Structure 1
């Protein structure tokens, strides 16, 4: 998580820790949204090669992250924090 620490956004870092401590697992759609916003918040636009057609999980994650293209790191981090706060009501 040192990459997140370099952003200097304490709320984002705390939200990432909170997301790992959910007692009830979020839905697959919620997990994909968390993943995509986290990756966009840390790395920016997805420039990785798409996984092969038989890697369904990898493809879903890749597509979710790619769907956040153009969102700034700061905006993605803010959206991630807001999503974690929303999910804490039902999953924490």
Structure 2
């Protein structure tokens, strides 16, 4: 069900203080919802490998090369961590994102 302009505006007004840079349209930014990411990855074949009773979510790609970790209780400012394992001719890498990533 699509959201009305009024609801999108209300969401943007509520979360505007959390957006440290100019984003347009404003409803595309904000604190986000982990389910927007995790549900999409699950539909693409990623599996959850973390404890279902934990606030932390860890998912693995179908080929097990990539891992995504969402930890809203992290001691650092990084709530999201994406890691890629080394492959034949490629180095591994990782990226970290804070809580305000849309």
Q: Which has the higher contact order (CA 8 A, sep 6+)?
A: 1
Q: Which structure has more strand as a fraction of its residues?
A: 2
Q: Which structure has more helix as a fraction of its residues?
A: 1
TM-score higher than 0.5: no
Q: TM-score, normalised by structure 2?
A: 0.24
